[in-house]
């Protein structure tokens, strides 16, 4: 069991294959964590709140939809590499 600072969330997605967790900790602010120890890998800011987020089945992409209906498909492979090497 690993302990970390409290993670508040509105929306979350887990990519088991890559060992990543992505959560909206604050409105419009996503944080990407390693599942192994909950260390932060990256942080993303959006001008609108998050309406939905989901990793692809191969854990290589993150789909983010904001409440103003802007869709993003982000490359998650660099986060997966960081999670695997740390």
**pLDDT for the residue numbered 10:** 74
pLDDT along the chain (86 residues), means of 10: 51 91 92 92 94 93 95 91 67
Q: Give the pTM.
A: 0.82
Q: Taking the C-alpha atoms of 45, 46, 47 and 53 in order, what is their torsion angle to the nearest 10 degrees? A: -150
Q: Which two tokens stand for residue 66?
A: 């904001």
């Amino acid at each position: 069991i690993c302990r970390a600072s409290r993670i508040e969330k509105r929306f979350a997605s887990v990519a088991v294959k890559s060992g990543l967790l992505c959560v909206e900790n604050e409105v419009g602010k996503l944080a990407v964590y390693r599942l192994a120890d909950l260390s932060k890998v990256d942080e993303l800011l959006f001008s609108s709140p998050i309406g939905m987020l989901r990793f692809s089945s191969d854990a290589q992409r993150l789909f983010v939809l904001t409440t103003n209906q802007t869709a993003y498909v982000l490359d998650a492979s660099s986060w997966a590499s960081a999670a695997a090497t740390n």
